[in-house]
Structure 1
Amino acid sequence: MRRVALLGFPVAHSVSPTMHNAAFAALRLPWRYEAISTTPEDLPNRVVALRGSDWAGANVTVPHKVAAARLVDRLADHASLLGAINTVVNSEGTLVGYNTDIGGFGADLAAHGVDVSGRSAVILGAGGAARAAAWALSEMGADLRIVCRDLSAGREIADILPSGAGMGVQVFPWTEAGLQSASEDAALVVNATPMGMSPDFDGTPWPKSIPLPREAFVYDMIFNPLRTTLVEAALAAGLRACGGLGMLVEQGALALSLWTRSMPPRGVMHSAAMAALEKQHAQIPYSR
């Protein structure tokens, strides 16, 4: 039996095991996907273990996407420039890092009809997910505005983006003034932080004192809960908005194709992820 892991901290909220195990079953593969709670201190040993012959690879999630990129043997495609990965493939003992978040995010934006070419897009955060969003949006021709607490991390993202892509990158401090300046006339707001992720249902990266941009599409990369506080606030303001379930499925499908070299059953994966989320939420009372 081949194994695939999800390495992150925390991982209890994840529906990836349900989603991928349903896909393996649909493909009639005797594989197992498991979530492994992995602290930053544990990460190096967990990655080394993936070299074992029973491991096909892994997904990497918060907060390890940048750190894991330094632990694999080789970075493929955009990951070599991006410096962040979410997928590891064990190729006969050689660990290769990929970033399927870029394609997953871009595909889901397209599915929602979001066009940012020649327009401003605000990214909240400067971690691994923000890097993927920045790369995807720059390829779409967006004017990027990164809002983050660590300005040097934001500038690092600006430095790694391909020259000539997009319209430019500006970095703003995570303050009310910074958010207001960054969001002026924005066509898209992306939450690339874990703020609002289960079990922090009431968390949000956007202060109530600042109105959301009037014509923006609000995209929260968080998939659990299905509707975060940020998404609900955007919908209440009459804006179009969505959570990250579509991105989860698409990046997972791209990762699955790398591990198995099979066509991923996207419909099966989406249905399994949705059912797992609905089951979780039926068991957890909301505080809002």
Structure 2
Amino acid sequence: MKKDRSITTTTQLCAVIGNPVAHSLSPAIHNAAFNELGLDFVYVAFRVEALGKALDGMRSLQNFRGMSVTIPHKIEAMKFVDEIAEVDRAIGSINTIINENGKLVGLGTDGPGALKSLVDAGVKLAGKNILMLGAGGAARAIAFTLAQKAHPGKIVLLDVNETLLNGLVSDLKTGTETMIASGALNATVLQQAMPEADVIINCTPIGMHPHEGVSLVPVELYRAGQVVFDVVYTPLETKLLADARSRGLVTVSGVEMFINQAVMQFERFTGAEAPVEVMRRVVMEKLNS
């Protein structure tokens, strides 16, 4: 670890914006990485309500290089940036903004971060049936990324919110060539969907602190050979993952997606290769403390 850096007139500013942001791990992760590489960057957290004004400020501040965008601003932020990649426009949300000399470029790293987590775990996705629980923001990012880049056989989406579910299904059918199916997220439909699922991805907050000990999937529904991925990372091993592991299944924790998306943001902010193990260590220390 390098010595602490000095803040100067050339220091580049990065920040996470959201409401709330008090418990964000992002400042600790990014500052540790800046420090490790000796980069003239600093990362802070801002609670933001007036999003448009915040992004006007970013545009006008020459040293304001990058921004991580979290709840509740991921969708609205799209209205205030100058350029968005087509895949992120289809997803309908962004979590990263880069200030390129006053031009704000928006993009998403959640979907690519999730895909990398699965690939790194040795999960084969081509031609596989993917069952996704939830159709909110995380599900949109992951579903579009998998549909466009992983070539699955089919994606099945389940959610209790019919409007949200139908919107995502429609967008996926319009924006991708992957076979898409959907249904209500209830015990009956889940029991019907589980036998043919090769990969199960929980994109709901079920199982997240402070509601540990809850899983959407009864343990008896698992079958040999399935992979279970939970985007929740507090706790590090949710009941969903613990149950799947007890059945000998491959499991992927949401902390992998969180680290991957932060690494991708860091590299867009700085143009440098991220010190991944430093970032991972900081995340684990914070989550285990």
Which deviates the most, 173-182 or 151-160? Answer: 151-160
SS in 2 for 1:50: helix
Give the 5 Å matches for 1:211-222.
211-222=221-232
* CA deviation string 1:175-215 (max 9, x = no partner): 222322332321111112233333433454x1548734543
* CA deviation string 1:197-242 (max 9, x = no partner): 33433454x1548734543211011222211222122222332212
Q: Which residue of 2 aligns with 1:61?
A: 70
Q: Which residue of 2 aligns with 1:251?
A: 261
Q: Is the 8 A contact 1:186 1:215 kept in 2?
A: no
Structure with the larger helix share: 2
Amino acid at match of 2:115: G
Amino acid at match of 2:44: E
Going from structure 1 to structure 2, the CA distance change for 1:207 and 1:62 (only over 3 Å counts) comes to farther
Q: Which residue of 1 aligns with 2:108?
A: 99
Q: Which residue of 1 aligns with 2:35?
A: 25
Q: Is the 8 A contact 1:18 1:272 kept in 2?
A: yes
* CA deviation string 1:129-165 (max 9, x = no partner): 1112112221212210111122332233333337695
Going from structure 1 to structure 2, the CA distance change for 1:174 and 1:251 (only over 3 Å counts) comes to same
Q: Is the 8 A contact 2:21 2:46 kept in 1?
A: yes
Q: Is the 8 A contact 1:151 1:171 kept in 2?
A: no
TM-score by length of 2: 0.85
SS in 2 for 1:123: strand
Question: How many aligned positions are there?
Answer: 276
Q: Which residue of 1 aligns with 2:83?
A: 74
Give the 5 Å matches for 1:266-277.
266-277=276-287
Amino acid at match of 1:160: D
CA–CA distance in structure 1, aligned partners of residues 276 and 85 of structure 2: 23
SS in 2 for 1:90: strand
- Out of 222, 237, 243, the position equivalent to 2:247 is 237
SS in 2 for 1:190: strand
Task: Report the CA distance between 1:87 and its aligned residue.
Answer: 0.8
Q: Which residue of 2 aligns with 1:177?
A: 188
Task: Report the CA distance between 1:91 and its aligned residue.
Answer: 1.7
Q: Is the 8 A contact 2:112 2:142 kept in 1?
A: no
Percent identical: 32
- Out of 167, 170, 175, the position equivalent to 1:159 is 170
Q: Is the 8 A contact 1:189 1:219 kept in 2?
A: yes
User: Structure 1 residue 86 and structure 2 residue 98: aligned?
Assistant: no
User: Structure 1 residue 50 and structure 2 residue 44: aligned?
Assistant: no
Task: Report the CA distance between 1:273 and its aligned residue.
Answer: 1.4
CA–CA distance in structure 1, aligned partners of residues 225 and 22 of structure 2: 35
* CA deviation string 1:64-88 (max 9, x = no partner): 3223223322212521222211111
Amino acid at match of 2:94: I
Task: Report the CA distance between 1:43 and its aligned residue.
Answer: 3.6
Going from structure 1 to structure 2, the CA distance change for 1:77 and 1:203 (only over 3 Å counts) comes to same
**Bigger radius of gyration:** 2
- Out of 103, 106, 115, the position equivalent to 2:124 is 115
TM-score by length of 1: 0.85
CA–CA distance in structure 2, aligned partners of residues 42 and 194 of structure 1: 26
Going from structure 1 to structure 2, the CA distance change for 1:49 and 1:225 (only over 3 Å counts) comes to farther
Going from structure 1 to structure 2, the CA distance change for 1:256 and 1:134 (only over 3 Å counts) comes to same
